[in-house]
Copies of this chain bind each other. A is one copy, B any other.
């Protein structure tokens, strides 16, 4: 049976010596889709690296505007092909075609591509820093090797390995990308890569600019992140897979940016509970249930004070979970993983209040599940009770008082987000002042009175956080231009003759709009000769 082709060196070609094949699953029916995709061997990977190396060389002579044209054109092609993309992504992921895929995720994806195009052209992202007196000039530039992107299962467009946030950041920073498709949506990835290839050709980019393989045996995955030719890796996925890739990349001295896991705690302070407990419960449930709970920022922990209001909050929440419908999961492994996580949570002292089982039948689905545990029990086994259950699952931690809520915060591992709900008239301000200094260091993004599931594509976003939420606390995976800095090297020019400087560091501002730090001041001006 023919295998779907891989995209290597600008051509769709049959895999060389594939070590196996796989099919995507329609999670609404639990049935495999007809196409067979290859599990690539080292032959495909080596060929991709060779083409990427050629692309790195070719890119040195290609003006950045070509990258901008590529990203803009790619966005337009995605819009033109929206019907086919949405249909395929819905089939492979079970995510609703509308509004989710067509009206939310697809526009987010094209928006990211266009922001990347603007950043590539405008160049402020590279933080050009010029010391005219010492004649030293520095800025960020491409890594000198391809970026390998491992896309997650939960955003077939917006975090796709050949169209999503990491892809845009890597390309806009001037690097070729080798995409490792998420095996949940290989067909969507293939459609996107076809569009990317057309756009890259149209913009005059080298054939190895965008490449795609679908799957590899684990050891080839380690090669992907640690080969001497690699520039860096962007990975979004499970902690277990991420840590293995991290170990391989670290040993080779290769940067790897991981977004791995997060329980995204929500703290509800006492007077907020008094003021609007049921409304917060509703917000929390909606946030947990969004996308069948398969968001990196889904709140997996809620921390509330005990007492009547706390009990009422838990009861209200339990009612919502009980009445909620089980969304379709992204694939058959979802329910297995949730079951395993629940076993861990329950074995560590949490109690299931509602839900707890996979939905019977062929559809991939799991009951909305609420657990409860005392803060005292949580503090005895904080690591185990932070096991991530990637679905509509939340564990309510019931604390004796604000001091114990702060103790729970102190026991948290690194998270992407942390939310605090407080009384709108200031009655919780003392409690806030006790809790937040502890919580602040544990999370990448701190929110007030809102749930964390919305991740705006803003320059001021931080979709990142301390380990093990990510691999490094200083970088964000969402938000242009900052996300580009993951895929860039700092390059200094010391007494380099003026005509040899890159345009970003020449006396003349290359775009007239680029911000540069010149002798301590940010400026869009040319530098006087």
Which one of B255, B460, B492, B495 contacts A472 once the chains associate, using CB atoms below 8 Å? B255
Task: Mark out the residues of chain A between 470 and 518 whose CB falls within 8 Å of any chain B CB in the assembled complex.
Answer: 471-476, 482, 485-486, 488-497, 500, 515, 517
Q: Is the CB of B446 within 8 A of A491?
A: yes
Residue of B nearest to A499 (CB): B429
Complex CA–CA separation, A450 to B485 (angstroms): 29
Quick check: is A234 within 8 A (CB to CB) of the other chain? no
A441 / chain B contacts, CB cutoff of 8 Å? 56, 142-144, 489
Complex CA–CA separation, A475 to B448 (angstroms): 32
Greatest chain B CB density within 10 A among A253, A444, A446 is at A253
Q: Quick one: CB contact mask for A459-471 with B, threshold 8 Å, 1 for yes?
A: 1111010111001
Q: Is the CB of A136 within 8 A of B467?
A: no
A144 / chain B contacts, CB cutoff of 8 Å? 440-442, 466
Known: A144-B466, A467-B254, A520-B459. A500 touches B436 (CB 8 A): yes
Which one of B450, B459, B489, B496 contacts A494 once the chains associate, using CB atoms below 8 Å? B450
Known: A473-B490, A474-B488. A495 touches B440 (CB 8 A): no
Q: Is the CB of A60 within 8 A of B255?
A: no
Q: Is the CB of A251 within 8 A of B255?
A: no
Complex CA–CA separation, A432 to B473 (angstroms): 39
Residue of B nearest to A132 (CB): B460
Q: Quick one: CB contact mask for A30-64 with B, threshold 8 Å, 1 for yes?
A: 00000000000000000000000000110010000
Q: Is the CB of A253 within 8 A of B444?
A: no
Residue of B nearest to A141 (CB): B440
Q: Quick one: CB contact mask for A431-443 with B, threshold 8 Å, 1 for yes?
A: 0100011001110
Quick check: is A363 within 8 A (CB to CB) of the other chain? no
Quick check: is A323 within 8 A (CB to CB) of the other chain? no
Q: Is the CB of B251 within 8 A of A494?
A: no
Quick check: is A458 within 8 A (CB to CB) of the other chain? yes
Q: Is the CB of B471 within 8 A of A253?
A: yes
Residue of B nearest to A454 (CB): B494
Residue of B nearest to A446 (CB): B493
Task: Mark out the residues of chain A between 53 and 91 whose CB falls within 8 Å of any chain B CB in the assembled complex.
Answer: 56-57, 60
Known A246-B250, A474-B488, A475-B490; further 9 A-B contacts with Cβ < 8 A = A138-B460, A140-B474, A448-B494, A448-B495, A452-B494, A459-B517, A464-B490, A474-B489, A515-B521
Nearest 5 CB-CB pairings of A with B? A144-B441, A253-B467, A522-B522, A462-B492, A473-B489
Interface set of A (CB-CB < 8 Å, partner B): 56-57, 60, 129-131, 134, 136-138, 140-144, 246-247, 250-251, 253-255, 414, 417, 432, 436-437, 440-442, 444-450, 452, 456, 458-462, 464, 466-468, 471-476, 482, 485-486, 488-497, 500, 515, 517, 520-522
5 examples of A-B residue contacts, CB within 8 angstroms: A144-B442, A246-B250, A446-B492, A474-B489, A482-B490
